[in-house]
């Protein structure tokens, strides 16, 4: 009687174990199927991002336009996930050339859409309305951004950056800046911080951006950059790359042309970042006069 009882108990446990095993096998198969679906979905997402990056990069300007007017020019854009909000702008005019660097809110797909729309709007203003004054361009871009994306209860779309206009006939350089990050490295080795309007594009429809004059001489270098460069964490103590570090890199290689200097900054940034994740879109442009 006792043996029969234990046999029944053992059989019951074996049946339960068999059911559990079948359940685990079924669950494993379901997880494997879900994993395949996730892999395919992930591939579709990255394929879409890669294709979107090709589209966004196709809108980037030809740097050789600036080389017609200046000794040398170069830029680098490293979006956080392949597409993003950083861009450079270059367009020749009847009087010379307009150029600059803009950083849109956030990163990824939303920032890329904002970046592209801003670039197209600037081109439209310059082409159809023949505007080449940076102050007027920024005032109109600011108004349109605020009207389209922002209102009194929410504010979702902003840009920061700087736009320059060079007149070849007058040999004159003017600019407007919306919290833009820009330095002038004189051939003497001294740095000059460029003044700016301390408002972002899109913040307030009534903002009037200032117009500034610039005096440059042969051998000077103009450096524009987004905060993604200087705010990147890295190094031995995991600190920000910083503007001081950027200045040091620039000042220790005074004879380096713009193209080579852009490559050096990219290399130094990559070493600094090391295995850390890139925290934001990164862009910088150098003009050599």
Alpha-carbon torsion (148, 151, 157, 160), positive or negative: positive
The pTM of the full predicted model, rounded to 2 decimals, is: 0.84
Which among 109, 103, 104 is positioned nearest to 46, based on CA atoms?
A: 109
Q: Quickly tell me which residue has 């200097």 as its tokens.
A: 261
Distance CA 179, CA 159 (A): 9
The strand pairing partners of 177, in sequence order, are 162
Distance CA 204, CA 60 (A): 28
Task: For the chain, give every domain's residue range.
Answer: 1-58, 61-288
Q: DSSP label at 197?
A: B
**What is the largest distance, in Å, between two alpha-carbon atoms of the chain?**
113
- Local confidence pLDDT in tens for the 289 residues of the chain: 567 766 676 677 777 777 777 877 787 778 778 888 777 777 777 788 888 888 899 889 999 999 999 999 999 999 999 999 999 999 999 999 999 999 998 888 889 989 998 999 999 999 988 899 999 999 999 999 888 887 766 667 899 999 999 999 898 999 999 999 999 999 999 999 999 999 999 988 899 999 999 999 999 999 999 999 999 999 989 999 999 999 999 999 878 999 999 999 999 999 999 999 999 999 999 999 9
Q: Which residues contact 187 (CB under 8 A, 6 or more apart)?
A: 217, 218, 219, 220, 254
Q: What architecture does CATH give domain 61-288? A: 4-Layer Sandwich (3.60)
Query: What own/partner pairs with CB < 8 Å and gap ≥ 24 does 24-33 have?
Result: none
């Amino acid at each position: 009687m006792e043996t029969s009882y234990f046999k029944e108990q053992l059989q019951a446990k074996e049946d339960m174990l068999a059911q559990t095993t079948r359940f685990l096998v079924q669950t494993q198969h379901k997880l494997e199927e879900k994993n395949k679906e996730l892999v395919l979905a992930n591939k579709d997402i990255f394929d879409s991002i890669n294709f979107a990056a090709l589209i966004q990069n196709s809108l980037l300007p030809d740097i050789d336009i600036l080389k017609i007017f200046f000794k040398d020019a170069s830029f680098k854009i490293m979006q956080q996930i392949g597409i993003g909000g950083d861009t450079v702008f270059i367009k020749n005019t009847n009087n010379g050339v307009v150029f600059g660097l803009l950083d849109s809110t956030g990163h990824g797909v939303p920032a890329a859409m904002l970046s592209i729309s801003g670039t197209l709007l600037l081109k439209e203003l310059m082409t159809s309305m023949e505007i080449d004054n940076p102050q007027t361009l920024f005032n109109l871009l600011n108004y349109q951004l605020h009207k389209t994306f922002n209102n009194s209860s929410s504010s979702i779309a902003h840009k920061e950056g700087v736009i320059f206009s060079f007149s070849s006939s007058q040999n004159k350089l003017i600019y407007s800046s919306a919290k833009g990050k820009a330095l002038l490295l004189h051939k003497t080795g001294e740095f000059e911080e460029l003044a700016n309007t301390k408002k972002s594009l899109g913040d307030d429809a009534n903002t009037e951006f200032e117009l500034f004059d610039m005096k440059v001489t042969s051998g000077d270098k103009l450096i524009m950059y987004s905060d993604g460069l200087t705010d990147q964490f890295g190094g031995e103590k995991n600190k920000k790359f910083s503007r001081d570090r950027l200045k040091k890199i620039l000042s220790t290689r005074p004879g380096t042309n713009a193209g080579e200097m852009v490559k050096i900054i990219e290399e130094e940034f990559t070493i600094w970042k090391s295995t850390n994740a890139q925290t934001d879109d990164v862009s910088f442009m150098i003009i050599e006069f």
